[in-house]
Amino acid sequence: MSNKINIVLTVLLLGCALSLVNAQYRARHLFIDLERAQALSKQLDIEWAQLQLDQSTLGKHARIEEIARRDLGMTPLTPNRTQYLTEGEP
């Protein structure tokens, strides 16, 4: 009788031990994935900041004005050649 219990317990113990190994293995893998994802998120954050900076640099008003005047031949708007449309008026 006690022999049978011992065998059952041994089998259980082995099962537990193997599942622990398996769990540990999967935890390592998930951890590596998490690490990678976090590194990527960090990298993307930096990229986002860099892009925002680029947007601000390229959208500098001085640059826009220069391009508008020189390359596109634009001139500033004045009220005497503006038609104002006011809501509610005929």
Note the residues at the interface with another protein (CB under 8 A). Answer: 27-28, 31-32, 35, 45-46, 49-50, 52-53, 55-57, 59-62, 65, 76-80, 82, 84, 86
**Closest approach of another protein to the CB of residue 82, in Å:** 8
**Closest approach of another protein to the CB of residue 70, in Å:** 15
**Nearer to another protein among residue 4 and residue 61 (C-beta):** 61
**Closest by Cα among 33, 28, 57 to 41:** 33
CA–CA distances in Å: residue 36 to residues 20, 24, 26, 71: 24, 18, 15, 46
**Closest approach of another protein to the CB of residue 6, in Å:** 30
**Nearer to another protein among residue 8 and residue 28 (C-beta):** 28
**What DSSP line would sit under 20-51, residue for residue?**
HHHHHHHHHHHHHHHHHHHHHHHHHHHHHHHH
